[in-house]
């Protein structure tokens, strides 16, 4: 069986005995923010965000009564989660479009490279995802008859070289068009000067044809030097072609703008009341702010109502957030021939009226509000929300006997590679992750435990580690490119002093409240069914280092399990 199928079915062989193996009995994530209790949705209402945690750049499409949504995952694998809903509120992940290592190669790219801003559309029983693999191949298309997969290998689109954010538009005359963000004609006149391009697309041949044309140069008002016009989508209504784009970058100046034309190839006129969605310019000291809103896509319900999914963030203070960019939902209303999502100065509501669609059951894995998710590792495969850093190069994890096993390899969390790390997203500002590990190191540097990671340069590891021939409980940290890739130990105790021995079960917990972290452990007496002893903090600290503001990039924090070894 090839590596791809092995990953999907988790039928990897038992990790090689030549390297130590860490066994994890279970993993529990829980989170609840103050707004979750303060803004409880009543009957007929829903809560924003609809997908909490690192789910940026949402693209949504409808086929009959079914909605499908995809988001960016950058250099995480598997990539491009695919969600399904029938009410735009209750979403269930049904697969990942990039789930075979040979589809794309993320090499040793930074964690915020890889797959950017996918779009999903469907026609005549075929689903299409367009995407850009930044620094790993360029623009591509994958197709599927079932959105749950399998998805095809990439069909590369070299004609879009230098561009990102491709999308398709199926016109009523049978023609298909491809849009993308790309460099402007000639030399850029300022930093962030980009353009929106269009070209006809041969759907049967899977390639662009004919001349390319610029639809928007720079943005809606070139005199103001608008930055990063991107994420283009075209839809048709009442004889007009509407071009919807993000503008202003992905930080607090983010927004959504709209233009229209009687021809798909323009010229396009800008809505005089742009932007149609933004949170810039609002008071920075407002309670529980939602900021950086943009990258929207509009969709209609079967009864003709309009809605928009978009990204925004929930900082715990200022522009500091570790949960990443998340997926939100709001209704769209039409005024004087133009769509509008938020009014000038309007804050995005935490709770709003649900779409007039039959409410669906709560998803098996919650995606919004306060919740707990516990993985017992007793199935044949991991749930699809588990991810690793970049493509797997070997068989280093397995599920058996109700445990997850990781081979401790000489690949660290800071190596820009594929360490023995499996993680899930941090989905709340106030959250906790717990696990039970059993590990017997063989030499100095062997380690296993729990980690919270923002990217290769910013992370914490809490777990067992052999140091100077003795077993220790340590907290290791990497805090930027100036620190060693292996991190540095910021707290440690000799394990035997607390009755912690090799191979014995040890409970580990990482708690976060905004930027305050607590790293704790507890002995487990006997089997996993026996209650643990009281939690004992190893250390507490306050840091903003796991935020996008400090660490840079486009991802959010993930909690997960990790095993590593010294060079052998």
CB 160, CB 232: distance < 8 Å: no
Q: How far, in whole angstroms, is CA 72 from its chain's centroid?
A: 6
**What kind and span of H or E run contains 375?**
strand 371-375
CB 560, CB 423: distance < 8 Å: yes
Strand partners, 69: 60, 83
Token pair recorded at residue 564: 């590593």
Q: How many beta carbons lie within 10 A of that of residue 16, not counting itself? A: 12
The CA-based diameter of the chain, rounded to the nearest angstrom, is: 77
| Catalytic residue status for 191 | no
Whole-angstrom distance, CA of residue 310 vs CA of residue 298:
9
Among the listed residues 1, 65, 77, 48, the one whose alpha carbon sits nearest the alpha carbon of residue 391 = 77
Specify the DSSP class assigned to residue 105. -
**What kind and span of H or E run contains 8?**
helix 3-9
**Which residue among the candidates 33, 36, 57, 375 is catalytic per the annotation?**
57
Rg of the chain taking only CA atoms, in angstroms:
24
Question: Exposure of 307 by Cβ count < 10 A (0-12 exposed, 13-18 middle, 19+ buried)?
Answer: buried
Whole-angstrom distance, CA of residue 371 vs CA of residue 366:
7
| Catalytic residue status for 247 | no
Whether the ω angle into residue 275 lies within 30 degrees of 0, i.e. cis, is: yes
Whole-angstrom distance, CA of residue 422 vs CA of residue 414:
14
Strand partners, 536: 521
Whole-angstrom distance, CA of residue 423 vs CA of residue 402:
18
CB 7, CB 384: distance < 8 Å: no
Tokens 């002093």, located at residue: 497
Name the phi and psi angles at 517, rounded to 5: -115, 140
Among the listed residues 292, 253, 287, the one whose alpha carbon sits nearest the alpha carbon of residue 49 = 292
Question: Exposure of 563 by Cβ count < 10 A (0-12 exposed, 13-18 middle, 19+ buried)?
Answer: buried
Token pair recorded at residue 30: 């829980």
Whole-angstrom distance, CA of residue 365 vs CA of residue 383:
10
Token pair recorded at residue 304: 């003709």
Token pair recorded at residue 281: 């310019």
CB 381, CB 9: distance < 8 Å: yes
Whole-angstrom distance, CA of residue 347 vs CA of residue 250:
18
DSSP output for 216-237: EESSS-GGG-----EEEEEEEE
Cα-based distances in Å from 26 to 264, 434, 450:
53, 8, 12
Strand partners, 294: 311
Tokens 């777990």, located at residue: 463
**Which residue among the candidates 25, 33, 230, 434 is catalytic per the annotation?**
230
Please list the active-site residues: 57, 230
């Amino acid at each position: 069986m090839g590596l791809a199928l092995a990953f999907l079915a988790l039928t990897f062989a038992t990790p090689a005995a030549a390297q130590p193996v860490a066994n994890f009995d279970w993993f529990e994530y829980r989170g609840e923010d103050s707004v979750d209790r303060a803004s409880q949705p009543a009957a007929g209402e829903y809560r924003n965000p609809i997908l909490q945690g690192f789910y940026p750049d949402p693209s949504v499409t409808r086929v009959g009564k079914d909605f499908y949504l995809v988001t960016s995952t950058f250099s995480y694998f598997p990539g491009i989660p695919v969600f399904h809903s029938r009410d735009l509120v209750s979403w269930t992940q049904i697969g990942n479009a990039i789930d075979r290592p040979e589809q794309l190669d993320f090499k040793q790219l930074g964690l915020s490279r890889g797959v950017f801003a996918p779009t999903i559309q469907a026609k005549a029983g075929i689903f299409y995802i367009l995407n850009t693999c930044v620094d790993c191949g360029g623009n591509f298309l994958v197709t599927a008859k079932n959105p749950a997969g399998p998805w095809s290998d990439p069909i590369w689109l070299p004609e879009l070289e230098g561009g990102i954010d491709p999308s398709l538009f199926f016109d009523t005359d049978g023609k298909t068009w491809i849009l993308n963000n790309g460099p402007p004609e000639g030399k850029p006149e300022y930093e962030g000067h980009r353009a929106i391009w269009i070209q006809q697309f041969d759907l049967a041949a899977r390639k662009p044809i004919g001349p390319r044309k610029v639809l928007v140069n720079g943005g809606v008002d070139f005199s103001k030097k608008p930055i990063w016009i991107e994420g283009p989508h075209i839809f048709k209504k009442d004889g007009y072609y509407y071009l919807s784009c993000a503008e202003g970058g992905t930080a607090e100046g983010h927004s959504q703008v709209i233009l229209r034309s009687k021809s798909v190839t323009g010229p396009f006129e800008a809505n005089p009341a742009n932007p149609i969605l933004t949170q810039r310019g609002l008071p920075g000291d407002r309670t529980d702010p939602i900021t950086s809103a943009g990258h929207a896509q509009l969709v209609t319900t079967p009864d003709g109502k309009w809605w928009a999914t978009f990204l925004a963030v929930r900082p715990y203070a200022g522009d500091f957030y570790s949960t990443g960019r998340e997926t939100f939902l709001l209704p769209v209303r039409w005024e004087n021939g133009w769509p509008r999502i938020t009014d000038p100065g309007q804050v995005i509501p935490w709770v709003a009226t649900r779409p007039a669609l039959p409410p669906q059951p709560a998803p098996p894995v919650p995606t919004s509000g306060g919740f707990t998710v516990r993985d017992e590792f007793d199935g044949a495969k991991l749930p699809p929300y588990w991810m690793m850093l970049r493509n797997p190069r070997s068989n280093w994890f397995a599920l058996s006997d109700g445990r997850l096993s990781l081979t401790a390899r000489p690949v660290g969390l800071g190596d820009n590679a594929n360490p023995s790390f499996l993680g899930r997203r941090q989905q709340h500002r106030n959250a906790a992750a717990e696990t039970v590990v059993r590990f017997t190191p063989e030499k100095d540097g062997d380690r296993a435990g729990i980690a919270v990671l923002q990217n290769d340069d910013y992370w914490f590891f809490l777990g067992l580690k052999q140091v100077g021939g003795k077993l220790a409980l340590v907290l290791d940290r990497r805090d930027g490119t100036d620190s060693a890739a292996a991190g540095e130990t910021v707290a440690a105790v000799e394990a035997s002093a607390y009755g912690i021995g090799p191979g014995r079960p040890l409970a580990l917990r990482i708690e976060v409240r905004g930027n305050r972290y607590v790293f704790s452990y507890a002995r487990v007496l006997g089997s996993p069914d026996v209650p643990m002893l009281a939690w004992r903090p190893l250390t507490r600290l306050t840091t903003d280092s796991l935020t996008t503001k400090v660490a840079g990039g486009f991802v959010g924090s993930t909690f997960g399990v990790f095993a590593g070894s010294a060079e052998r």
